[in-house]
Structure 1
Amino acid sequence: MTYALPPLNALRAFEAAARHLSFKLAAHELHVTPAAVGQQVKALEARLGVQLFERLHKQLILTAAGQAYLPGISEGFRHIADATAQLKPAGTVMLQLGIHGAFDLRRLALAEFRNARADIGLRVLQPAGLHELVEGKVDLLIARGLGHHPGYRCDRVNQGSGLGDWLIAPEGTADCPEIVSFREWLRAQSAETSRADRNRPRLVGTVGS
């Protein structure tokens, strides 16, 4: 049997917005921007051919169609969450890390992180960029740039100023334990790399023979 389903991200955006009656609060829950939630809901309405919300000034109201749609969607997500919980090892939190395409994964020593933090299941998506972070496909991102993104915490990965690698996480989840653990790990790895670079012998050229 083939299920006729709208995109999952659009359904998540609708369900969260309907519970909170707020794109802003839904965005905080889903780790995306309010604009992204609004776009997902608008795309869902276009696909279904049904208006799900009345958008009033500073107020969001479910239409009759939205009220009828919400219970089944919420129940479906509860079933998915319950089924997933039965499969996932107790105590394990999944962390989705996005990395830009030019970054050398060997710098991160991810195998050591996984061994040290068996309670955190780490998955890597490369290449990934801000689009994947905004859409909620990754929880945090190592991106190349200047590190200025309103609504996101940006921590520099490498030393120096100007263009560089940054660890970027939504402000709403930047202090989650698993993200804090990875940030501290990354900071320690960066410090160790810097010490190794300083202690590495350098060849000194001589003039003449």
Structure 2
Amino acid sequence: MTYALPPLNALRAFEAAARHLSFKLAAHELHVTPAAVGQQVKALEARLGVQLFGRLHKQLVLTAAGQAYLPGISDGFRLIAEATSQLKPAGAVLLQLGVHGSLDLRRLDLAAFRSAHAEIGLRVLQPAGLHELVEGKADMLIARGVSHHPGYRCDRINEGSGLGDWLIAPEGTADCPEIVSFRDWLRALPAERSLVNRNRPRLVGTAGN
């Protein structure tokens, strides 16, 4: 059976905005801009042919159609989340690392990280960029030359004045235990593989292969 479904990102934007009754708070949750949430909701309304929100001055309210639509969408996301959680290895938290295409993964010694952190199911997506991070395909990203991105924490992993490599994670999850463990792993790499300077609070280190 083929399901006629609106775009998933538009549904996520609607569901978050409907719970918060705020594009700004929905944007913070989804790690995008309020304008992006508004555009996604507008596209969804056009796709469905109904108005889901009423915009009264600076207040966002659900229309009757929006109120009727929200429970089913929320339940759908809950069922998807529950079904996905059942696929995870017992006791493991899945963490998706996006990496730009030119980075040599041997520098990260990921096999040793997995051995030391059996509770984290680390997966790597390469090549990956900001698109994959924003779309939720990666939980954190090692990107080339991205020193700042709104709503994200960016930590440099190469020292110098050039473009450099940066570890990027959404501000809302940048301090979760799994991402902190990976950040700490980079800080603790042996000197001959060093990517970071342990004397600084943020990810800054020496260049090298």
TM-score of the aligned structures, taking structure 1 as reference length: 0.83
Counterpart secondary structure, 1:9: helix
The answer (yes or no) to whether the contact 2:144–2:163 under 8 Å persists in 1 is: yes
Whole-Å Cα distance in 2 between the matches of residues 39 and 33 of structure 1? 10
Change (3 A) 1:172 1:122: same
**Are the structure 2 counterparts of residues 31 and 90 from structure 1 closer, same or farther at C-alpha, using a change threshold of 3 Å?**
farther
In structure 1, the residue matched to 2:201 is none
Q: Which residue of 2 aligns with 1:55?
A: 55
Counterparts of 1:22-33 in structure 2, within 5 Å, are 22-33=22-33
| Alpha-carbon distance change, 55 to 87 in structure 1, aligned in 2, over 3 angstroms | same
Tell me whether 90-99 or 136-145 shows the greater mean CA deviation: 90-99
Contact preservation (8 Å) 2:27, 2:33: yes
Matched letter for residue 115 of structure 1: S
Q: Is the 8 A contact 2:18 2:70 kept in 1?
A: yes
Question: Which structure has the larger Rg over C-alpha atoms?
Answer: 1
Partner of 1:19: 19
Q: Tell me which residue corresponds to 2:180.
A: 180
Amino acid paired to 1:97: L
- Separation in 2 of the partners of 1:153 and 1:66? 34
Q: Percent identity?
A: 86
For structure 2, the residue ranges without an aligned partner over 5 or more in a row are 196-205
Alignment of 1:143-182 (within 5 A): 143-145=143-145, 147-182=147-182
1:1-209 map, 5 Å:
1-145=1-145, 147-189=147-189, 191-194=191-194
Deviation at 1:192, TM superposition (A): 4.1
Cα-Cα RMSD: 2.3
User: How many pairs are equivalent?
Assistant: 197
Q: Hey, what's the Cα distance between the residues in 1 that align with 2:172 and 2:55? A: 24
Give, in angstroms, the shift of residue 49 of structure 1. Answer: 2.1
2:203 — aligned with what?
none
**CA separation of 1:66 and 1:190: change in aligned 2, threshold 3 A:** farther
Distance 1:25 1:182 in 2: 28
Deviation at 1:146, TM superposition (A): 5.0
CA contact (8 A) 2:31 2:152 kept: no
Q: For 2:124 and 2:36, how far apart are their aligned partners in 1?
A: 23
The code of the aligned residue for 1:89 comes to P
Task: Give, in whole Å, the separation in 2 of the partners of 1:123 and 1:38.
Answer: 32
Contact 1:31 1:173 in 2 (8 A): no
Give the residue type in structure 2 aligned to 1:29: E
Render the CA deviation track for 1:38-92: whole Å, top value 9, x for unaligned: 2322222222222211234432211111111101111112222222233323432
- Contact 2:32–2:151 (CA under 8 A) maintained in structure 1: no
Amino acid at match of 2:106: R
**Alignment TM-score, normalising by the size of structure 2:** 0.83
Residue 96 of structure 1 and its aligned partner are, at CA, apart by 1.8
More helix by share: 1
In 2: Cα distance, 1:190 partner to 1:9 partner: 41
Partner-residue secondary structure (3-state), 2:60: strand
